[in-house]
Amino acid sequence: MKKLLTISAIALAISGAGTNPAWADEVTDWNQTLFRSAVIAGTSPLNMGRVGALVQAAVFDAVNGIDRRYTPIHVPPAAPAGASRRAAAVQAAYVMIGKHYGTGGLFTTTQQGILNARRDVALALITDEESSAAVASGVAWGQQVADAIWAWRLSDGFSLAPPSFVGGTAIGQWRPTPNAPAAGTSTPGAGYPQYFNMPTWSGASPSQFDPGPPPDLSSARYLADYNEVKTMGSQNSALRTTDQTVGALFWNSSTAGYLWNHLALSLLDARNRNRTDAAPGKGHNTLLQNARLLAALNLAMADAAIGCWTAKYTYTYWRPITAIREDDNNPNTAQDPAWAPLFATPAHPEYPSGHSCVSGAAAAVLKAEFGRHVPISIESDTMIGVTRQFHGFTEALEDVKNARIFAGIHFRTATEAGTTLGADAANYVLEHLFQRVD
């Protein structure tokens, strides 16, 4: 199926930017607040996965702790009777986002004033419809849940100053790569080795989804992968189409967390528009269901990332730029010391592909929720006006895989292993968490 590139008129892009979906609620509103805060802070894609899981886990356990419909992620459902679900969701998100981006937060950015104003407005709107006592009780419960989940993950080994990893010099081993086509060399230790064997959110072993080793350098599979990325992923490839170049740049323009969360919000909005029981006061509990889906999405992506980085630092496989520039021992490949990819290579081992792992997990969760063949449009928060449109999640994943190859930073086997690992991690999350209790 052909991928379509839609470039919207500038006026439409501007008029649509920042608008909330028609069926937005406190859960979806604060999901958007999370990713806006992350853009301001410049949070990396991998760290964004952990932040997203922390925020959405807190929101889910806060709302579910009042409704008590599902097994909790971490905090037992013990909210006081009559607590406001909406206020609990707001406070849980506000506290967790503040721990990252507020005054004294984990990342060096101060957005506390913005977060305070956003919270005050949200609680004022809720107080117009619910009692002050219910709102106060909900706020206290949301605070309790966020603090408990924050304390739980403090011991997971995360660090903004991880140990340095310099790799090796043997054939096939990863080592710091040139930043080509930019100048300089990637920084040892910048590749997030702290995610190796990090405890998962689902309780699975970090190595449970291990894809097995990458292809042997003498294999036909490696030769095919090598030749494909060398021709299609070079900076000035004559074979890569304009759409393929745009796709590579698009999927690298934002964090995978934003791209898949934004799609989830769009799909939730479309579904709720068509429900007669989704409006306020009706029977369908959209607040809890939205919290459940966003928690499942972000925990699955976080576990896929942990499994992925555990595999990366198990196999420490070299990047295409290293293989193409340095491998003069393989009679089946042609060395090219001047070869450069479309954009700079990330500073961590190649196998499996991180974006493919996380996207494979996201697609599996959304496919389970919305169906295999639902048409989807994915938008970036930085490439305004550019949309990738697909007939279903499988086609979107193929675009992700191709994007990493056509960018010159991954071999195809790494992308295929990544999407499989991600789907396995997501299925484990869906099978072991969020179980109905009524």
Structure confidence by residue, pLDDT tens digits, 129-167: 999 999 999 999 999 999 999 999 999 999 888 888 889
pLDDT of 424 > 50? The answer is yes
Give the separation between CA 223 and CA 252, rounded to whole angstroms: 26
Per-residue confidence at 273, pLDDT binned at 50, 70, 90?
Answer: confident
For the record, the structure tokens of 239 come out as: 């074979």
Residue 7 pLDDT > 60: no
Residue 159: alpha-carbon gap to chain centroid: 19
User: Which pLDDT score is estimated for 256?
Assistant: 96
CA distance 354 to 211: 13
Residues belonging to the chain: 438
Give yes or no for residue 231 having a pLDDT over 70: yes
- Dihedral sign computed on CA atoms, order 282, 284, 289, 290: negative
44-53, 189-198, 284-293: range with highest mean pLDDT: 44-53
**What is the pLDDT, as a whole number, of residue 188?**
61
3-state secondary structure of 7: strand
Residue 2 pLDDT greater than 90, yes or no: no
pLDDT-based confidence at residue 10 (cuts at 50, 70, 90)? very low
Q: pLDDT band at 431, cuts 50/70/90?
A: very high
What is the average pLDDT across 214-225? 96
> Which pLDDT belongs to residue 189?
58
**How far, in Å, CA of 38 to CA of 58, rounded?**
17
Q: Is the pLDDT of residue 16 over 50?
A: no
Q: Is the preceding omega at residue 163 within 30 degrees of 0, hence cis?
A: no
Report the sign of the C-alpha dihedral through residues 178, 410, 247, 19, in that order.
negative
Give 298's contacts (C-beta < 8 A, 6+ positions apart). 49, 52, 53, 55, 56, 57, 257, 261
pLDDT of residue 280: 46
pLDDT confidence bin for 1, thresholds 50/70/90: very low
* Domain topology for 4-432: Vanadium-containing Chloroperoxidase; domain 2 (1.10.606)
Average predicted confidence (pLDDT) for the chain: 91
pLDDT at 57: 98
Q: What is the pTM of this model?
A: 0.92
Q: Could you give the 3-state DSSP secondary structure of residue 295?
A: helix
And the tokens for 121?
């407005």
Instruction: Give the count of alpha carbons within 13 A of 119, CB side only.
Output: 24
Mean pLDDT value across residues 348-375? 97
Separation of alpha carbons 280 and 260, rounded Å: 26
Q: How far apart are CA 364 and CA 176, in angstroms?
A: 33
What percent of the chain clears pLDDT 70, i.e. is strictly above it? 92
Summarize the confidence of residues 320-343 as an average pLDDT. 90
* 186 contacts: CB under 8 Å, gap ≥ 6: 176, 177, 178, 179, 344, 345, 346, 347
Query: Hey, what are 310's tokens?
Result: 């555990």
The yes-or-no verdict on residue 417 having pLDDT over 60 is yes
